[in-house]
Chains A and B, each alone.
Chain A
Amino acid sequence: MVKRESPLGPALRPDLHGRSDGGSGVTLSEVTPTFMAEAAAWPGGKKILAAAIGDVTGLALPASPNAGALGAGAAAFSIGPERFFVAGSEGFAARLAAALPLETGTVTDLSHGRTAIRIAGPRAEWVLSKLFAIDFSADAFAVAEGRATAHHDITAQIQRTGATQFDIFVFRSLARSFWRILREASAEVGYEVLSGEG
Chain B
Amino acid sequence: MSPRRASAGGLIDRGRSIGFTFDGRDYTGHPGDTLASALLANGVRLVGRSFKYHRPRGIFAAGADEPNALVTVLKDRVREPNIPATQIELHEGLAAESQNRFPTLDVDIGALGQLAGPLLAAGFYYKTFMGPVIGPLRGTRFWMLCERFIRHAAGLGRAGYAPDPARYEKMNAFCDVLVVGAGPAGLTAAEAAAKAGRRVILIEQEPRTGGSANWSGETISGKPARDWATALSERLAARGNLRLLTRTTAWGYYDGNTVAALERVSDHLPGAAEGVPRHRHWSIHAGKVVLASGALECPIVFPGNDRPGVMLAGAVRRYIGEYGVLPGEKLAVFTNNDSAYHAAAALKKAGGAVIAIIDVRPEIPSAARALAEEAGVAPLLGHAVVGTAGKRLSKISVQRFDAATGRLSGDVRPIDVDCLTVSGGWSPAIHLASQAGGDPVWDEARLAFLPPAPRQDWLGAGAFTGAATTAEALTSGRDAGLKAVGKRPSRAKPPTVKAPAIDPHPAPVFEIKAKGKAFVDLQHDVTAEDVRLAHREGFVSVEHLKRYTTLGMATDQGKTSNVPGLAIMAEARGLPIGEVGTTRFRPPFSPVSIGALAGERHGHFKPDRLTPMHDWHVENGARMMEVGLWHRPMIYGEPGETIEQAYVREAAAVRRSVGIVDVSTLGKIAVKGPDAAEFLDRVYTNTFSTLPGGKARYGLMLREDGIAFDDGTTWRLGEHDFLMTTTTANAGRVMQHLEYFLDIVWPDLKIHLTSVTDQWAGAAVAGPNARKVLEGCVTGTAVDTEALPFMGIVHGDIDGVPVVICRLSFSGELAYEVYCGAGYGRHVWETLWQAGVPYGIVPYGMEALGTLRIEKGHVAGAEIDGRTTARDLYLDWVLSKKKPFIGSALMDREGLIDRNRLRLVGLLSLDGQPLDSGAHIVESGGLETPGRSIGHVTAACYSPALSKYIGLALVKGGKTRHGTRAFVSDPLRKRFGPVEIASHHFFDPEGRRLHG
Q: Point out residues on A near B: beta carbons under 8 Å.
A: 1-2, 4-7, 9-10, 18-20, 38, 40, 42-43, 102, 105-106, 108-114, 129-135, 137, 139-140, 152-154, 171-174, 176-178, 181, 184-190
Contact = CB atoms under 8 A, between A and B. Distances in A.
B674 A4 contact: no
A154 B607 contact: yes
Contacts of B760: 112-113
B628 to A, nearest CB: 9
14 contacts: A4-B824, A5-B824, A102-B720, A105-B752, A108-B754, A110-B758, A111-B821, A133-B172, A137-B199, A152-B606, A172-B758, A173-B610, A177-B607, A181-B607
Interface string B213-227: 000000000000000
Contact of B171 (A111, A129, A152, A172): A129
A112 B600 contact: no
A187 B275 CA distance: 5
Contact of B750 (A2, A19, A42, A111): A42
**Residue of B172, B664, B747, B750 most packed against chain A (CB within 10 A):** B172
Contact of A5 (B169, B273, B825): B825
Contacts of B610: 7, 173, 176-177
B255 to A, nearest CB: 14
Given A152-B607, A172-B759, 14 more contacts: A2-B800, A7-B822, A20-B273, A110-B754, A110-B759, A112-B822, A113-B755, A135-B285, A153-B607, A171-B609, A172-B822, A176-B610, A185-B600, A188-B277
A187 B606 CA distance: 20
B615 A20 contact: no
Contact of B600 (A108, A139, A184): A184
A107 to B, nearest CB: 9
A66 B456 CA distance: 28
A173 B757 contact: yes
B759 A185 contact: no
A6 B825 CA distance: 11
B612 A5 contact: yes
Given A129-B172, A153-B629, A154-B607, A2 B799 contact: yes
Given A5-B612, A106-B752, A130-B170, A113 B275 contact: no
B672 A106 contact: yes
A148 B825 CA distance: 27
Nearest to B798: A2
Nearest to A103: B674
B673 interface: yes
Nearest to B277: A188
A130 B800 contact: no
**Residue of B199, B607, B755, B824 most packed against chain A (CB within 10 A):** B607
Contacts of A9: 615
Contact of A19 (B274, B615, B757): B274
B826 interface: yes
B188 interface: no
B758 A112 contact: yes
Interface in B769-821: 799-801, 821
A112 B275 contact: no
Contacts of A111: 759, 821, 823
A109 B752 contact: no
Nearest to B799: A2
B276 interface: yes
Contacts of B879: none
B273 to A, nearest CB: 6
Given A130-B600, A173-B610, A184-B600, A189 B275 contact: yes
A66 to B, nearest CB: 15
B827 interface: yes
A134 B600 CA distance: 17
A178 B823 contact: no
Nearest to A191: B275
A43 B980 CA distance: 58
Contacts of A10: 615
B946 interface: no
A137 B170 contact: no
Contacts of B285: 133, 135
Given A133-B172, A177-B609, A1 B275 contact: no
Nearest to A132: B172
B696 to A, nearest CB: 19
A4 B821 contact: yes
Given A110-B756, A173-B757, A188-B169, A140 B275 contact: no
B674 A181 contact: no
B821 A134 contact: no
Interface string B502-522: 000000000000000000000
Given A110-B756, A130-B170, A137-B199, A2 B827 contact: yes
A153 B606 contact: yes
Contact of A176 (B608, B670, B720, B799): B608
Contacts of A42: 673, 750
Contacts of A4: 821, 823-824
A44 to B, nearest CB: 12
Nearest to B613: A5
Contacts of A113: 755-760, 822
Nearest to B631: A173
B274 A102 contact: no
A177 B608 contact: yes
Given A137-B199, A152-B607, A173-B609, A2 B801 contact: yes
Contacts of A19: 273-275
Contacts of B759: 109-113, 172
Interface in B163-213: 169-174, 199
Contacts of B757: 113, 171, 173
Contacts of A135: 174, 285
**Residue of A5, A140, A172, A185 most packed against chain B (CB within 10 A):** A172
B427 interface: no
B611 interface: yes
B249 interface: no
B601 A152 contact: yes
Contacts of B824: 2, 4-5, 112
Contacts of B607: 152-154, 174, 177-178, 181
Given A173-B610, A174-B607, A177-B609, A5 B826 contact: yes
B310 to A, nearest CB: 44
A108 B199 contact: no
Contacts of A152: 601, 606-607
A2 B823 CA distance: 10
Nearest to A107: B672
Contacts of A132: 172
Contacts of B799: 2
A176 B618 CA distance: 15
Contact of B821 (A38, A43, A112, A189): A112
A130 B801 CA distance: 40
A18 B275 contact: yes
Contacts of A129: 171-173
A108 B670 contact: yes
B283 interface: yes
A20 B606 contact: no
A111 B759 CA distance: 7
Contacts of B821: 4, 111-112
A108 B823 contact: no
A108 B273 contact: no
Contacts of A181: 600, 604, 607
B275 A188 contact: yes
A4 B827 CA distance: 9
A93 B640 CA distance: 50
Contacts of A187: 274-275
A96 B674 CA distance: 18
Contacts of A154: 607
B752 A114 contact: no
| CB-based closest 10 A-B pairs | A187-B275, A4-B823, A113-B759, A177-B607, A112-B821, A188-B275, A135-B174, A112-B822, A113-B758, A108-B754
Given A152-B601, A173-B610, A108 B758 contact: no
